[in-house]
Amino acid sequence: MRKFLLIFSFFSIVLFFSACSPKHGEILLAKFDKGNITLGEFEKAYAKNSGGLEAAKDDSLEQYQKFLDLYLNFRLKIKDAYDRGYDKNPDLLAELNDYKKKVGVSYLLDKELVEPSIKKLYDQRKIELRVSHIMIRPDSTGDEGAKTKANAVLKRVLAGESFDSLVNEFSADQYSKPKGGDIYYISAGLVVPEFEDAAYKTEVGKVYPEAVKTRFGYHIIKVTEKRERIPSIRASHILLTFANEAGTSDTLAAFQKIDSIKTALKNGADFAKLAEEFSKDPGSAKKGGDLDFFSRRVMVKEFDEAAFNLKVGEVSDIVKTNYGYHLIKQTERKSYPTFEEEKEELKKIYKQTRYNSDNEALLMTYKTKYGFKLNDAGIEAIHAANDSVKVGADYFESKLKTDFGKTEVFRLNGEVFNLDAVLDKILTQAEYMNKVITREVLKEAANKISGDLALETETLTMDNRYPEYAELMEEYKNGIFIFKLQEEEIWNKIKIDDAKLEEHFNKNKEKYNWNDRVAFTEIFSRKDSIIQVCKDLSKKGTNFDSLAVKYTERAGMKSKGGKHEMMDASSSQISKEAYKLENTGDISSSIANANGYSLIKLDRKEVARLKTFEEAKAEVSGSFQEDESKRLENAYNESLRSKYKPEIKKEELSKVFKSE
């Protein structure tokens, strides 16, 4: 019994400590007035600031300790910001909301429009369809006539009449008409969206039950095949053209030759060697017939179909195209890429095909959500009263403004937008400039403005739906608060005057010094003969500065007469040569340098020395402000620690990134 009690007591203790010991991420590293820093929070912040989790794991305990001190200072500042009421400051909140709108719009469109759409596109593109169609174009009867005709043809197709014969009778697509309406294989993103949507909803061997309208007309769509899409293949070929050596067409001789090559391949001959020897394709023959990778529909239809139906390593039968006879060997094929590999290409396809219409639909959803309503009566009244006033500055001095400036054009989210407000918003937009203010212009502007405003309004509700967005906004808000604190506690407290600067200078004189310096005049020419002429003329008494004005060719120095003001003597090869001259007025020999030759006259040189206060004043000011900033920053951090009295548990840092 006693043994049982001891065992029971042992397990009770284990269970007690297991229940009481916090999970790894909840271990406290520091706590302060109404706040704390957990191990999980620290690890997340540290990894983010050190280039990722794997890099963070390799750092030392000393590095973790330094970061904890910095991170604690940051957290105490944020606590101080809230205590000062920054979270209720209208100016700071306005800045945050403005940022939310700017960043949120692109974020929202990406999350609710682009990402789901490209994921759908990615899944659809795993399958390719072979499609035939009958296209009815609008004629003199207009769109309604084309629709009526298309529906009549569709009714006959669905009743069982031959699709091919109806293609031949009615289709306006002259490319596919001779082939029974076959437009070959398509995949998502390749054709107009309305056509694509219908095709992907249709079973193999079936006809879509409605006439589909696109910008080309009306289509009756039949899907003839559905298969797993191969993104691209690599193939080689041997081409024999129909032309013989005399330059005339001889298809029989070409066929007999390609057939003999086919037999040689069956008997084990090397495809690449035969391609090099016999293929009439100059681009690929020298590469053993290699055509590199290509995707569907890049090659002519007959070639494409044969190549994509092969297996890797397999050689086709003889394929006839407009170019001649081919033997094709598939050498590689690419598997369907991952979503991440294909993501940027998917975005490009989506933006080109569906983005605009999807964006309009999404904006309409938001506009409806926020109660968008056009004031048709007000718009009609403005339209009727105006015959010449245009969008632009003249409106604001017109009778139209006086009479209708306060007339409601639309309302959104409970706010009324009158004519003044609408025209103010489109005043600088190029597509509206100098357009007469008509009902059409006002409705277009109202729809555009309301869409933008509805989207911005929706961004303010995203925090609950997207945690990562909420985190991004929290970081930006903290950044605004920190900037405000730095302004109040540091930058506004730095007072600069000459007395303080001179005092700072005197304490740090050794930091401010000149190296050896030199000023000189240079004549530069691409020809050494010109330099020699100038040298001779100067020896005979011609003024060197006058010669420099006349002859120097260095870019940017002609207008300065070749004068190089005082500079560090070691800053260039020319300045080094100038410093070697002994006396003011001395002239060098011809000096070869990049792209030409130089002749130099020493104007002034000065050995290294300490700077005077006036010479160093700009540097002193920068250094003083930097030192003051550090002093005030340290003082502020100390005041926060004194105020919030944080307790730091540095011993827990040994557990950082060791949850396992």
472-489 in b/e form (b: 16+ CB < 10 A) is: bbeeebbebbeebbbeeb
Up-side HSE of residue 594: CA atoms within 13 Å toward CB? 5
- What is residue 387's predicted lDDT score, i.e. its pLDDT? 87
Q: Write down the H helix ranges in 391-527.
A: 399-404, 419-426, 439-459, 467-489, 498-507
How long is the chain? 660
Helix/strand/coil percentages in the chain, nearest 5: 55, 20, 25
Token pair 């300065």 is at which residue?
560
pLDDT at 371 (0 to 100): 97
Helix (H, G, I), strand (E, B) or coil at 352: helix
For tokens 């540091």, what's the residue? 490
Look at 8-22, 311-325, 510-524 and tell me which has the smallest mean pLDDT: 8-22
Tell me: the pLDDT tens digits for 455-495? 999 998 898 889 999 999 999 999 999 999 999 999 999 99
**Quick one: pLDDT band at residue 22, thresholds 50, 70, 90?**
low
Specify whether domain 232-335 bears CATH 3.90.25.10.
Answer: no
CB 539 within 8 A of CB 504: no
- Strand residues in 116-265 grouped as ranges (E): 127-136, 182-186, 212-214, 217-228, 232-240
List the Cα angle 347/348/349 in 5-degree steps: 90
pLDDT given for residue 58 in this prediction: 87
Q: pLDDT tier at 413 (50, 70, 90 boundaries)?
A: very high
Residue ranges per structural domain of the chain: 126-228, 232-335, 354-459, 513-610
* CATH fold match for the domains 126-228 and 232-335: yes
d(CA 100, CA 475) in angstroms, rounded, equals: 12
Residues with Cβ within 8 Å of residue 386, at least 6 apart in sequence? 400, 436, 437, 438
State the chain's mean pLDDT as an integer: 93
Tens digits of residue pLDDT in 584-626: 999 999 999 888 999 999 999 999 999 999 999 999 999 999 9
Task: Say whether 288 sits in a helix, a strand or coil.
Answer: coil
Q: What CATH topology corresponds to 513-610?
A: Chitinase A; domain 3 (3.10.50)
pLDDT at 468: 92
State the virtual CA torsion across 475, 480, 486, 491 in degrees, nearest 10: 140
Which of 70, 77, 81, 68 is closest to 30 using CA atoms?
Answer: 68
The token pair at 151 is 């529906």
Q: Which CATH number describes the domain made up of 126-228?
A: 3.10.50.40
